[in-house]
Amino acid sequence: MDKNIRMILVELRSSIFPPESVDFPINSPGDRIDQIESGIINFVEKLGEISKKDNIDLYFSDNTIIDDFHIPEKISELLKLNSIRTSCKIKNDFGPKNKGAGLIEMWLSNIEIIEKYKWIIYFEPRTSLKDKSFIEECLEFPDNRFKVLNENGNLHFYTGLFMIESKILIEFCRSVDINDMINKKICIEKSLKDFMDTRYPYSKYENKLNIIWHDVTQNRFIEF
C-alpha cells in the first residue's frame, strides 16, 4: 500500500439542517441536534479510543452546514474534545429529492479526503450503537461489510453503518447517474447492493450490527 495512504477513515455523517422542501419525513433541526449529540456521545463512550490509533482518523461531516465554524456549539465542543476532525459544507442540491443522491453528492465532494484512506467506515450518529463489536471487527479485519435487509423479498443494504474500500466507494459514486436516481426514485440501499453484487460479489454480509435505528417514516425504533 502507498505509504501516503492511511488505513481507515471513520465518517460520522449528519444533515442537521435539511431544507423544509424535502420529499420524505424528517425530524426537526432541534431533534436532529439532540439525536446527533447523543449518538456521538454514545459512539465515543464505546469507541473513543480508536482516535488514538495509528492510521485511523475520525471525521464528522455534514452537508447542510456552511462550514466547520458553524457546527452547533454543543456538537462542536464534543468533536474537539474527542479529536474528531470536521468536513462541513453546503452540498445538498440533490438530498432533498433523494437521500441517497445527497449521500453520493457529498462523497463526491469529499473525494480528496476519502482517497487518502484504504477503507472507510460510514456511520450515521443519529443511530445508537448497542455495543462496539461490529466496528471493532471492521478495524481488526477490514473488508467490504454490509447488513442486508429483506423487505417483502426486496433485498437491500442498510446504509446507516457499513465498511467499504474507499476506491470502491468512489467507483460506485462515479458510476451513478444522480438525475436518473432521482427521477426513477432509486434508493441507494438497493443501488449499492446491486453494484456490489455485480462487481464485488465476495463482500461480507453481516447478521448483526448491534445498533438501534429510528425509522422516522413510522416513528419506530428498530434493532439490527
pLDDT at 51: 78
pLDDT for the residue 40: 93
Predicted confidence (pLDDT) at residue 23 exceeds the cutoff of 60: no
Write down all domains in the chain, each with its CATH number in brackets.
6-223 (3.90.550)
Q: Please report which confidence band the pLDDT of residue 56 belongs to, taking 50, 70 and 90 as the band edges.
A: very high
DSSP 193: H
- In DSSP notation, 127-184 reads SEES-SHHHHHHHHS---EEEEEEETTEEEEEEEEEEEEHHHHHHHHHH--HHHHHHT
pLDDT at 156 over 80: yes
Phi and psi torsions of 30, nearest 5° = -60, -45
Q: Which residues contact 75 (CB under 8 A, 6 or more apart)?
A: 16, 33, 36, 37, 40, 60
Query: Mean per-residue pLDDT for 180-207?
Result: 92
Describe the crossing of helices 188-199 and 166-175 by its angle, rounded to 10 degrees.
110
Grade residue 77 by pLDDT with cuts at 50, 70 and 90: very high
Tell me what the mean pLDDT of segment 76-103 comes to.
91
DSSP 49: G
Q: What whole-number percentage of the chain has pLDDT above 90?
A: 62
* Mean residue pLDDT across the chain: 89
Q: What is the pLDDT of residues 184-194, one digit of tens each?
A: 999 999 999 99
Asked whether the CA dihedral 18, 208, 104, 62 is positive or negative, the reply is positive
pLDDT at 181: 96
Mean pLDDT for the stretch of residues 187-208: 91
Kindly report the pTM of this predicted structure.
Answer: 0.91
